A and B are shown apart, each in its own frame.
Chain A
Amino acid sequence: MNEPALLAPVTPRTAVRPHLVADQVSAWFGDHQVLEDITLTVHNSTVTALIGPSGCGKSTFLRILNRMHEMVPGASLAGRVLLDGEDIYERRVRPTDVRRTVGMVFQKANPFPAMSIADNVVAGLLITGRKTADKDALIERSLRRAGLWKEVENRLRTPAGTLSGGQQQRLCIARALAVDPEVLLMDEPCSALDPTSTRRVEETISEISHEVSVVIVTHNMQQAARVSQRCAFFLAEDGEPGRIVEQGQTYGVFNSPTDPRTADYVAGRFG
């Protein structure tokens, strides 16, 4: 299988601007520091991959970006997260508004079992009690964007639990897209999927990245190389909190890393 991202540099997109900026972010669970001084810029219409070994704080960082971090008892943080220049941790900003703008897809597919496929797609509206002009159109559009429409268009009223694992994950992507987020955070979205479903999800990521900025955590180097334009390598060494060792264009990080630890990791020599 050839991997174009490894062979040729990605052509820079036009009108790229900083969309979501993490500025000197640190994080703790109780007294245990898990992240230190993370500064990272997510550009609009770009896929940013977060790579690194398990336990280096990638998922924690991802959850800081949409204020899910604070749901964990004892969790705290320092630094700022700027969405279009505005700090989402300002006192007057409501977490629910942040999460509506910065959507999330989880490692394990988690459709709502008490809802049909169609209701799952518009769950964001049903739960928060918002109306939409044309629900059916929104359902179809979201499912098409997630690459699931063809497979489920004849059984929209059946429970979501009847779908396969890969379909459920794409349903969760459709659900996240239906509330029209500006940024989509994906926490190892393919780790429980087979190769075919993984490819479908990766195609979906490529398609939506024209409209939505995507941040994806992945343990799969090939996946990071295939889907992302930018990437950041996280590492937590010997009881130290996680830090970013290297970040930049994915092509650069993978092919000419400046740090030997990055070179070892992307080459598969540890982690």
Chain B
Amino acid sequence: MIARARVLGWLILGGCVLTAGCRTTRPWQRENLARPVMAPDAEPDREALHHHYLGTREGAAGGFGGGGGGCGCN
């Protein structure tokens, strides 16, 4: 399973590298992307508290961005 996870990781990394070169929009097409509802990261303080609760109640962790390290609690 770990080996399959590594393969999946390389596929995602490869996909990221390939798509990172893609420029898909022009400045006049970015109006909708600039709206508050399209912010890729939610409000950080609110999310920090929410993920703190999630991190102590699930066996999985990480994968949603914003760093890691857990809550430092038991």
Is this pair of chains taken from one and the same complex?
no
